[in-house]
Structures are given as structure tokens and as C-alpha cells.
């Protein structure tokens, strides 16, 4: 149906315009509500303006279907007029048949000849539309690619949140286990010291009671001597003189003073002197100090770290881990937790039965998402055991002569002097020394593909007391 015919069908017979709030009479004719009311208010009876059939006295109902059609038709007409205006040059009224590439806008032929667009690169709108569609397709692909990237990042975010919660639970358990061990040690130490105190108390009480019994027997003996002496003195003179020698000897043998009783009291200093410090010293056997601990967030998924973060071995891949930028994703590597940027540092690594390892230090900025050789030009200063051969990872690697299989390797860093040295503490010999001028932070570095763990050896804690 043409637009003109549709418009005729949607026009009010009274005003000849598109229906506005159309109402429906019983005779099936429709009119604008206002037009019908004006017709009836003009003195005519309540009859249809077209067929003169009388209408009900009730207000005629709205013709909702017709009203919806009229509104849709008016909206279409409005869009058509807008499109026609947009397809014409607002300045010259001509159709927009050209596209100015320089100004990125459609123009008419008059605009092309005007000063504004003179000399510009212009093309027909059909060709320009194809070019623009190609560019938009490329831009759309980039946008969709970005959406895919964001979706993957959001998936990583979900995994990261789950991993954080899992980490928190594992850390809490390890903290509780370690404090449980400390509490158990302290309880046992408390019981041992209270038991030693009770034993000393019992021994000293027993010693004092034994001493008191000796004194009681001594006192009874003296009482007997006093009584017999008094009896001798009460006898007649001749009998006194006859018994005098034995009597005086008996009294003199009883004149010895009782021995003093030293060390009877409790030795308080023995139990209380530096008590907390001595317990802390003893605690070191269950709380060793490690000069280096490992950073779990840098560990490759195939590496397993001990609860104390002081040993590492290779195994089957862990459950999926977040793809965080700190983690090594390609090679079985892990870094120490604390960065070093000055001073001297050393730590011993027990390699034991492991037959595939690399030890040393690495720059904080080493690549984590690609495989690179652990050599100085890549930010590594390392020693390795590979295929039964010890090598200093210079460029190229330098084979090392070792008398016997290494059990412990000492790594020593002098950051200020720019030296990284490796030695065997058992043999007391230096294995290799790297020299480099450090300008950034470095971290202890470990690599292994062996199921036998390599372990950082704990260091004894030395305490010096400053004299006043």
C-alpha cells in the first residue's frame, strides 16, 4: 500500500488530518474525538457525520487499534522527513552524493567546489561507504578481541579470588600448626622446669629434715650427759673424785659445736635467671632461622614448596593457578622472598641426592613468561648440575672440576662489590665467582626438575652481649 493511500485510510472524515484520539461509533465509522464532539456541539443530533446513523448517548469508546496505527504512521513519517533532511546538504539543499575523505563528512557537489572543501580528496558515497565499512569491520574486530581479552581477564580474576581464599586457608592452617608446636614446646618446657623445681624442693626439704633428726639425736645425747653429770655431782666427794676422770671426759666429748648448714635454701637464680631468654635459646631447635625463604607466588606450577618455604622439589602440575605476572610459567623456577640491593649475604643450599638443579641469584626484572638461559646477559648469575656435570653458567657455560659430589653449596653475594661466589663449605674451596656491577634489586634463585628436594640450610643465631 502506497503512503498516500495509507494516509487516506488514517485520515478523519471531518478534519481530513491523521486521526487524533480516534473513537469508534456503532456504525463502524471512526472520527477524532474532538472533531466528533464539535460536530455534535454544532446543533446536530448525536448522529454519525458520514452515514447519519444515530449514536448512543454514552461516550463513544476509543479505537485503540486505529490510534496505534496512526501513531506508528506519524513516527514513520517523522523518521522519513529526518532522513530526507539528513540526505540533503543543510547549506545548499543538494543531495549528499560525495564524501570528503580529508574532513570525514558527506558533502554535495556544490560543497566540493566551495572554498571549504576545494582541493580535498572526495569520493562517491557508495565507494566511501564500502571503505568506511571495511574500517569499521576492522575496528569492530579489535573491539571484539578486546572483549575476549577482558573475558579471559575476568576468568583469571575469578580464579585469583578462589586462589586467594585457598591461600588464606592454607596460611591460617600453617600458622595454627606452627603455634601449636610452639605451645606444645612451651608446655613441655614449663612442665620440665616445674618438675625440676619440685625435685629440688623435695631434696632440700629432705636434707633439712635429715639434719634436724641428727640435731635431735645430738640433743638427746647431751641431755643424757647433763643428767648423769648432775647425778655425779650430787654424790659424795670420794665417789665424785673416783669417777671424775670418766665424767669430765664424757662432758668434753659433748662440747663440740654442731656443724653449719650451708646451701639449705632454694637456688632461685638457677630457676629464674634469664628464664625467658634460656627458653628462647632452647626453642631454636624447633624454630630454626633460615636466611632465605621461597616466594610461593613466583613458583612454577610443577614445583612443591615445604610448609616452612625452605625446600623445593619437582612433581606433577598443581591444580590450575592464577596467571599472575610474578610466576614463572615456562621453566621450573622459583625466587626467594626478600630482594637484596646492598651489603653482603650468604646462604647454604643442601642439594643432596638432587641431580638437576640451578642455584644463584636473579635480577628482579627477569622474564617470567618465556624460557631464557640462566646466564648473566639475561639477569642470572648461577651454578648448575645438569647431565652429571657441574657448570658455572657463564656465556658459554664453564665446566667445573669437583673432587666429590657436592652435598651443600654456599651462595655468597657482595652486592656493593659486584661479586657472586659459589663455594663448597665442606671442602672449604671456591667453585666459581661472577663479577658484575649491580644496579637493581636481585633475589635468590632456584631451579630443579628433580623429585629429590633441595633445601636451604638454617643458620644458627649468634647473640653478642655489649658490656657496659
Q: Do domains 3-86 and 296-456 have the same CATH topology?
A: no
Residue 72 makes CB contacts below 8 A (sequence gap 6+) with none
Q: Cell match 574500517: residue?
A: 135
CA distance 352 to 366: 28
CA dist 337 → 23, 69, 91, 297, 445 (Å): 83, 74, 70, 9, 10
- The per-residue pLDDT for range 303-355, each reduced to its tens digit, is 999 989 999 999 988 777 877 889 998 999 999 999 999 999 999 999 999 99
Q: Which stretches of 109-124 are DSSP H helices?
A: 109-113
CA dist 285 → 288, 350, 428 (Å): 6, 18, 26
Question: Full-prediction pTM beyond 0.75?
Answer: no
Domain 296-456 has CATH 2.60.120.920: yes
CA distance 422 to 286: 29
Q: List the Cα angle 141/146/151 in 5-degree steps.
A: 125
Q: List the Cα angle 107/112/117 in 5-degree steps.
A: 90
Closest C-alpha among 467, 462, 385, 464 to residue 431 = 385
CA distance 367 to 458: 29
- Is residue 307 a contact partner of residue 453, using CB atoms and an 8 Å limit? no
Question: Going by DSSP bridges, is the β-strand pair 303-305/122-124 parallel, antiparallel, or unpaired?
Answer: unpaired
- Neighbour-count burial for 362-380, b at 16+ CB within 10 Å, e otherwise: bbeebebeeeeebbbeebb
Would you list the domain boundaries of the chain?
Answer: 3-86, 156-283, 296-456
- The per-residue pLDDT for range 66-114, each reduced to its tens digit, is 889 998 888 887 777 666 555 667 666 677 678 787 777 887 876 876 7
DSSP string, 311-353: EEEE-SPPSP----TTS--SSSEEEBSS-B-SSEEEEEEE-TT
Extract the residue ranges of the chain whose pLDDT is less than 50: 1
CA distance 275 to 352: 38
For 102-236, list the strands marked E by DSSP: 105-107, 122-124
CATH of domain 3-86: 3.30.40.10
Amino acid at each position: 500500500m502506497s503512503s498516500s493511500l495509507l494516509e487516506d485510510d488514517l485520515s478523519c472524515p471531518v478534519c481530513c488530518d491523521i486521526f487524533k484520539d480516534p473513537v469508534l461509533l456503532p456504525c463502524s465509522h471512526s472520527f477524532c474525538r474532538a472533531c466528533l464532539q464539535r460536530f455534535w456541539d454544532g446543533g446536530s443530533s448525536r448522529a454519525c457525520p458520514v452515514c447519519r446513523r444515530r449514536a448512543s448517548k454514552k461516550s463513544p469508546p476509543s479505537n485503540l487499534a486505529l490510534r496505534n496505527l496512526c501513531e506508528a504512521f506519524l513516527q514513520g513519517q517523522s523518521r522519513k522527513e529526518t532522513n530526507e533532511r539528513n540526505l540533503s546538504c543543510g547549506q545548499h539543499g543538494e543531495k549528499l552524493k560525495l564524501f570528503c575523505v580529508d574532513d570525514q563528512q558527506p558533502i554535495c557537489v556544490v560543497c566540493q567546489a566551495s572554498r571549504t572543501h576545494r582541493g580535498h580528496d572526495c569520493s562517491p558515497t557508495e565507494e566511501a561507504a564500502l571503505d568506511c565499512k571495511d574500517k569499521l569491520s576492522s575496528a569492530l574486530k579489535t573491539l571484539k578481541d578486546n572483549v575476549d581479552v577482558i573475558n579471559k581477564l575476568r576468568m583469571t580474576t575469578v580464579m585469583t579470588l578462589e586462589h586467594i581464599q585457598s591461600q588464606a586457608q592454607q596460611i591460617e592452617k600453617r600458622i595454627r600448626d606452627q603455634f601449636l608446636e610452639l605451645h606444645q614446646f612451651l608446655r613441655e618446657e614449663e612442665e620440665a622446669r616445674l618438675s625440676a623445681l619440685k625435685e629440688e624442693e623435695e631434696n632440700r626439704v629432705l636434707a633439712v629434715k635429715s639434719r634436724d633428726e641428727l640435731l635431735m639425736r645430738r640433743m638427746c645425747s647431751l641431755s643424757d650427759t647433763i643428767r648423769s653429770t648432775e647425778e655425779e655431782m650430787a654424790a659424795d666427794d670420794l665417789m665424785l673424785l673416783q669417777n671424775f676422770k670418766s665424767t669430765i671426759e664424757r662432758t668434753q666429748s659433748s662440747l663440740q659445736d654442731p656443724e653449719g648448714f650451708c646451701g639449705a635454701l632454694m637456688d632461685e637464680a638457677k630457676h629464674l635467671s634469664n628464664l625467658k631468654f634460656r627458653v628462647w635459646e632452647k626453642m631454636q631447635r624447633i624454630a630454626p632461622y633460615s636466611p632465605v625463604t621461597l616466594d610461593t607466588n613466583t613458583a612454577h606450577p610443577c614445583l612443591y614448596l615445604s610448609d616452612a618455604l625452605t625446600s623445593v622439589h619437582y612433581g606433577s602440575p598443581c591444580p590450575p593457578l592464577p596467571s599472575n605476572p610474578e610466576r614463572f610459567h615456562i621453566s621450573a623456577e622459583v625466587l626467594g622472598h626478600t630482594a637484596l640491593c646492598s651489603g653482603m649475604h650468604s646462604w647454604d643450599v643442601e642439594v643432596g641426592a638432587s641431580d638437576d638443579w640451578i642455584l644463584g641469584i636473579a635480577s628482579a626484572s627477569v622474564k617470567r613468561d618465556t624460557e631464557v638461559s640462566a646466564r648473566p646477559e639475561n639477569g642470572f648469575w648461577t651454578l648448575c648440575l645438569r647431565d652429571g656435570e657441574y657448570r658455572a653458567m657463564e656465556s658459554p657455560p664453564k665446566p667445573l672440576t669437583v673432587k666429590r659430589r657436592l652435598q651443600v653449596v654456599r651462595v655468597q653475594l657482595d652486592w656493593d662489590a659486584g661479586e657472586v661466589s659459589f663455594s663448597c663449605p665442606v671442602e672449604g674451596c671456591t667453585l666459581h665467582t661472577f663479577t658484575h656491577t649491580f644496579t637493581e634489586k636481585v633475589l635468590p634463585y632456584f631451579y630443579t626438575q628433580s623429585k629429590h628436594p633441595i633445601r636451604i640450610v638454617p643458620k644458627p643465631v649468634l647473640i653478642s652481649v655489649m658490656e657496659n
